[in-house]
Amino acid sequence: MTAPEETAELPGRTLIELGAPVAGSMSRAAATVVFEPSAAKVTISASFAASLRTVATEAAALQVPREQVRAGAALAFAVEYAATQHRAGRPARSDGWFDARPGGRPAAEDLAEAVVAAARRSTDERRVRHLGYLLAEASCSSDLDAGLADRALRSSEELSWRQLALLAGAGRRERVPLSMAPLPDEPRPWSEWGAREDVADLQRAGLLDPPLTAARPGAILPRLRAADLRLTRRGVLLHRLLALDLLHEDAVTEALAALGLPRS
pLDDT in tens, 24-61: 999 999 999 999 999 999 999 999 999 999 999 999 99
> What CA–CA distance (Å, rounded) separates 141 from 152?
13
- Three-state SS across 148-163? HHHHHHHHHHCCCHHH
Query: Considering the entire predicted model, what is its pTM?
Result: 0.92
The mean pLDDT values, 10 residues at a time, for the chain of 264 residues are 58 98 97 97 96 97 97 98 97 96 94 98 97 98 96 97 97 88 88 95 97 67 87 98 97 93 57
pLDDT of residue 1: 45
Q: Note the pLDDT of residue 174.
A: 84
Contact yes or no for 232/155 (Cβ under 8 A): no
Q: Which residues contact 58 (CB under 8 A, 6 or more apart)?
A: 12, 113
pLDDT of residue 4: 53
Domain ranges of the chain: 10-157, 162-214+223-258
Q: What is the pLDDT of residue 218?
A: 55
What does the pLDDT read at residue 128? 98
pLDDT of residue 184: 85
